[in-house]
Amino acid sequence: MKLIMYTSKALMASLLRILLLLLFLLVGHCRGLSTPKAVSTQVDSSSTAPCPHYKWLIVGGGIHGVGIAARLVGEGKIDSKSQKNNQLLVVDEHPSLLYSWKERTKSVGMAFLRSSAGFHLDLPAKGLQEFAGEYHQHVVMGKNNEIIPTKTPRRNKKQSKKDLRKAKNNRNKKVGESFVGSDYQRPSLELFNDHCDLVVDKYKLNDYFYRGRVESIFCSNNNSSGDDRVEPARLAIRCNDDAQTTKIVSADNIVLAVGNDDPLYPEWATDLMATNNNKGNENHKISHLLQISSDENVKEVDSVNDDDDDNDSSQNGDKVVVIVGGGISAVHKALQLTSVDNINNNKNKTSKQNKSLVHIVSRHSLREQQFDTHQDWMMTQELAQRSTESGGSGLTKKLKEFQTIQAPQDRREVIKKERVPGTVPAYMSRGRGGLEEAVACGKIHWHVAGVVSANETTNGKYQLRLDNGQDIAADEIILATGLGKRPPGFSIVNPLADETGLPLSPCGYPLVTPSLEWKLLESESSSGTSSKIFVAGGLAELELGPSARNVAGARMAAERIAAAAGV
């Protein structure tokens, strides 16, 4: 009898384990990916076990990844009506699409984009301009319900160019200075982000999104049938779950649309942060503008929202903030901290007006330039074709000359020359409420110097010593020192190149075709995979040119990759 009872219990336990396993497999199937496997530092690339397969897989859900996904869906390269749900997968480690873009632009205090409204993520060339008119109608429509036209007024025979510019500026003011800048029709960050959300919804891109981090791509021939068939590449994805499991998928087409997630920390800042951590001080206030958390539950601490007014370093109660760096991000943040609107928005959060006195510490003086690269580098093939059809020259001279350069080292030199880092546009430096005005009022101080050392004082403040002999006492240090110099996604790109022989330039960036496909030369043997691998963003700059990393570059990459996709 005991034996029977024991056997029955064992049988019930076995059945329960089988039911749980079936439920686990069902959940994994519904999520569209393979069953989770235990995490290991190495992935068995020789395994022949079947895994979920996709027509297109995009690594990166930022501006470039979303722009490419929208183009593939919008041009019908993806069968959105397919019941198999294996047409497209967009993988990103952050909680949602465009999360990194939105968090970083919010962190730096950006109000308007630097580029014009002609550069966006939707397919129609004037999609953002048309959206701006509708946006104004629904968000800030006038009392008389007047719909403001967004088209540029045509010039009549009696109207001078000066009058035309004046009419255009007036039209932009009617649309609302809070949404479109009068110069170059620059969209506000709010407008641009809402349009991005519209694009995501329009093409149902969230249906293709999977949160995880692509750890590796392996292209070794996994075919065990004995014939010469070449298998598609496989990707190992570290999932964002409590178990940190790894999933294996494969794809016919892989797009590396990864950005640089490697903020650059000066050595003195790293030492200071390590010292604070060793002391157990979790409330130290030294941060990098471009450092973001993948945890959406972690709230960003705004520099001006703290209630420690009694400990402010300056005699008049202003909070002293040091921003290290002299580019557009540094100036964005400085203007945000010292703006009247920012002070007014924080009146209800503190017992008194919580103003900030900002010191910008930069190794160079102000460098004024409208764009980080000349507009001639931002022409898409669509715009070039329209130019040709209307009797123009098509591609700009700069782009034509760049395409004739054969040596990657020479192309790299052109990129270094044309893309000037650490620049600030005139509207931020000389415009109303800009940098020059803030400096004249004593709200911002610009120091042309480097930081020699920084120490935490006994009262919880920071003492910075500059190489010009100055000392600055600060309540907070904000780093606007940019991103690291390594190629984006180097932890994926370098091992993939080593395994397959895919060509890299001396600077470590992929050598790709005009369609942005990264493949072996015709004279070389197979890379061991049937998959096509494309690149975008910074990884494509040796082909696209200096503007590859910005929004214009995202549009340029999307149209080339979609064109190479065929039907």
Tokens 């350069």 belong to: 405
Report the side by side order of strands in the sheet with 451-456. Answer: 451-456, 462-466, 471-474
Q: What pLDDT, on a 0 to 100 scale, did the predictor assign at position 310? A: 45
Residue 8 φ then ψ, to 5°: -65, -45
Residue 173 φ then ψ, to 5°: -65, -35
Structure tokens at 111: 């109000």
Q: What pLDDT, on a 0 to 100 scale, did the predictor assign at position 292? A: 84
Q: What pLDDT, on a 0 to 100 scale, did the predictor assign at position 105? A: 94
Q: What pLDDT, on a 0 to 100 scale, did the predictor assign at position 462? A: 94
Q: How far apart are CA 510 and CA 392, in angstroms?
A: 32
Measured CA to CA in angstroms, residue 166 lies from 105, 130, 161, 302, 537 at distances of 31, 21, 9, 38, 37
Q: Comparing 35-99+195-261+510-567 with 267-368+422-479, is the CATH topology the same?
A: yes
**In the chain, where the domains are located:** 1-30, 35-99+195-261+510-567, 112-187, 267-368+422-479
Structure tokens at 551: 């929004």
Q: How far apart are CA 207 and CA 428, in angstroms?
A: 39
230: which DSSP letter?
P
Q: What pLDDT, on a 0 to 100 scale, did the predictor assign at position 181? A: 66
Q: What pLDDT, on a 0 to 100 scale, did the predictor assign at position 315? A: 47
Please name the helix (run of DSSP H) or strand (run of DSSP E) that holds residue 398, with its range, or none. Answer: helix 397-404
CATH topology for the 35-99+195-261+510-567 domain: FAD/NAD(P)-binding domain (3.50.50)
If DSSP codes are grouped into helix, strand and coil, which group holds residue 472? strand
pLDDT per residue rounded down to tens, the chain (567 residues): 443 443 454 445 445 444 544 443 444 444 445 333 323 334 444 455 678 999 999 999 999 999 999 999 999 998 877 766 789 999 999 999 999 999 999 999 998 999 888 899 999 988 998 898 877 666 654 433 443 334 444 545 556 666 655 555 554 444 444 677 667 788 999 999 999 999 999 999 999 999 999 999 988 655 445 556 678 999 999 998 776 789 999 999 999 999 988 899 999 999 988 876 655 455 568 999 999 876 655 444 444 444 444 444 554 567 999 999 999 999 999 999 998 655 445 444 443 445 789 999 999 999 998 888 899 999 988 888 888 988 888 999 999 999 999 999 999 999 999 998 899 999 899 988 899 999 999 999 999 999 999 998 888 889 999 999 999 999 999 999 999 889 999 999 999 999 999 999 999 999 999 999 999 866 555 556 789 999 999 999 999 999 999 999 999 999 999 999 975
Q: How much is the pTM?
A: 0.81
Q: How far apart are CA 384 and CA 351, in angstroms?
A: 57
CATH of 267-368+422-479, one of 3.40.47.10, 3.50.50.60, 3.10.20.600, 3.40.50.20: 3.50.50.60
Burial class, 489, CB count within 10 angstroms (exposed 0-12 / middle 13-18 / buried 19+): buried
Q: What pLDDT, on a 0 to 100 scale, did the predictor assign at position 18? A: 45
Query: Which one, of 528, 532, 525, 489, lies nearest residue 509 by Cα?
Result: 489
